[in-house]
Chains A and B, each alone.
Chain A
Amino acid sequence: MAPIVSVSNLVKTYASGFQALKDVSLDIEEGEILALLGPNGAGKTTLISIICGIVNPTSGTVLVGGHDVVTDFRATRSIIGLVPQELTTDQFETVWNTVSFSRGLHGKKPDPAHIEKVLKDLSLFDKKDNMLRELSGGMKRRVLIAKALSHEPRVLFLDEPTAGVDVNLRKDMWKVVEKLRETGVTIILTTHYIEEAEEIADRVGVINGGKILLIEQKTELMKKLGRKQLRVELQEPLRDIPEALGSYDLTIGDGGDSLIYDYDTSGERTGITTLLTALAEAGIRLKDISTQQSSLEDIFVELVGARA
């Protein structure tokens, strides 16, 4: 199946001379949830802005649903919903009006039943007649999501949707995202919260300095880059690693109270069995053992740090 969003060789140089995107290519499959991770100024928002039509590309092409975002913008923009990063709202409008306005802008006939459903899904319905300036930050964020969903998009962009949002809303939002995915909506979100990507994304892309550093299935990524640690707590502290264990990649932790063994989860053999046997043979008595997997965050920090 053709990708729903296809970005090829995209370059954006702003008038100031700043190059925000350097030759970015990326395919997004219909129905997936893609998380784009990257530090501030990495180019995430510029990338989204070009796909949505807010910023003109300097060169390269973007296809959405097989249509070019510049020459065939009507076709592409009518299937895209965008939740921007900034809480920008018409302060003096009511929730109902501003959400209905968004639907109209996208060329859809008024449909109060749909607007009502969207507002109810986001727990906004009882605020429908409130002016936006009366709402809290979290509520405004919901309104922006409601606006983006007002015209039933097939592709939804969430630009740091959970920045500055409380736990309840974050969970509500994940629920909404889950529901949308069930209806086949493709979701692209940028985030600083790596747990978020870990929690809901199918694929994860890492972007920095205007380049996509990698893009991979989340599980693959974790497998590929994920390292595991085995931590062995000892009955009696050790000062040095016994010679018999020299062939293992061991380090002493907690001032000698534990041994730490790093191993690769993608390897055929992890070496755990032989290590434990070797420990027993060396007469080392164990108190406890535990394993720990490196998180996406570790992977991310490593990647961005190494290639920046």
Chain B
Amino acid sequence: MNFEAVKSIYFFEMARTRRTLLQSVVSPVISTSLYFIVFGAAVGSRIQEIDGVSYGAFITPGLIMLTLLTQCIGNGSFGIYFPKFTGTIYELLSSPVSMTEIVLGYVGAAATKGMMIGIIILGTASLFVDLSIAHPFVMLLFFVLTAVTFSLFGFIIGIWAKDFEQLNLIPMLVIPPLVFLGGSFYSVNMLPPFWQAVSHFNPVLYLISGFRWSFFEIADVNPVISLVIIIGFLAVLMGLLTWIFKTGYRLRN
């Protein structure tokens, strides 16, 4: 294992985050605050509690997940796409690093950055609403697993993307609807039966539900199923990645 290389990639990526601090950290905080003002304070004040939890608190796990997913996919994809775009990838490909080390470096940095922002949002949220975390370890487990899984997803998108449009396609067009329709702002039990059934095909529902359960012990689906779904998705991505590395898909061809 070439630890020096993993370390180098990781800190190189983290340095990029530091350079773009304003855009990376301040903007998600502002947008989350806006959600709280609009949904939590303005709209939320007219919504009754959901399963005994105030609306503002109820949406917090969903908001954290929304940011975590978007950030991790964004960081993961950009981190590997950018060297492809500028051509500096030659260096990565001609270095004595295995694909595992490349993934550890890039995905590790993307997940770290995503989690940092997630924690900042949790902090911001606690300024607006009363939060209690019933199962901190389970919460941490969901948090880390989601960050890693979606950073990896982003990494694959970054390898696949041939231009900036493709790079933005999934984060911009696919993730927001999944997150919004995955019960970030409501319980799917509030939906008519047909849409409830449809929602169960949305993988993000399981993430948000499981994550929310770790806060309030209320869930749309059994948290164990949520955990299985994330781990399943992670396994699928790892399989895909193994295939990419074996064939040199869009990297060494």
Contacts and interface: CB of A to CB of B under 8 A. Distances in A.
Interface of A: 14-15, 52-56, 73-78, 80, 82, 84, 86, 88-92, 97, 100-109, 147
Contacts of A84: 87, 90
Contact of B94 (A77, A86, A88, A104): A77
8 contacts: A73-B96, A77-B94, A82-B90, A84-B87, A104-B7, A105-B8, A106-B4, A108-B4
A55 B248 CA distance: 8
Nearest to A86: B87
B90 A105 contact: no
Given A53-B93, A54-B93, A54-B94, A104 B88 contact: no
A115 to B, nearest CB: 13
Nearest to A108: B4
Given A52-B94, A53-B93, A88-B88, A104 B252 contact: no
A227 to B, nearest CB: 41
A77 to B, nearest CB: 4
Nearest to B102: A105
Nearest to A144: B91
Given A55-B252, A90-B86, 18 more contacts: A14-B253, A52-B93, A53-B93, A53-B252, A56-B253, A74-B98, A82-B94, A88-B86, A88-B87, A90-B83, A90-B88, A92-B19, A97-B15, A100-B8, A105-B92, A107-B5, A107-B96, A109-B4
Contact of B252 (A54, A82, A97, A106): A54
Contacts of A76: 96
A56 B8 contact: no
B170 interface: no
Interface residues of B, number: 27
B179 interface: no
Contacts of B248: 56
A78 B96 contact: yes
Contacts of A105: 4-5, 8-9, 91-92, 95-97
B12 interface: yes
B2 interface: yes
Contacts, number: 80
B4 A107 contact: yes
B84 to A, nearest CB: 10
Contacts of B94: 52-54, 77, 80, 82
A108 to B, nearest CB: 6
Nearest to B94: A52
Contacts of A108: 4
Nearest to A57: B252
Given A54-B90, A90-B88, A91-B86, A101 B12 contact: yes
B166 to A, nearest CB: 18
Interface in B3-20: 3-5, 7-9, 12, 15-16, 19
A55 B90 CA distance: 10
Nearest to B92: A105
Contacts of A80: 94
Contacts of A86: 87
Contact of B96 (A74, A88, A109, A147): A74
A14 B252 CA distance: 10
B9 A89 contact: no
B83 to A, nearest CB: 8
A77 B95 contact: yes
Contacts of B92: 105
A102 B5 contact: no
Residue of A78, A106, A108 with most partner-chain B CB within 10 A: A106
A102 B91 contact: yes
Contacts of A102: 91, 95
Nearest to A54: B93
A82 B88 CA distance: 12
Contacts of A106: 4-5, 95-96
A14 B253 CA distance: 7
Nearest to B253: A15
B81 to A, nearest CB: 13
Nearest to A75: B96
Contact of A104 (B8, B15, B253): B8
A288 to B, nearest CB: 54
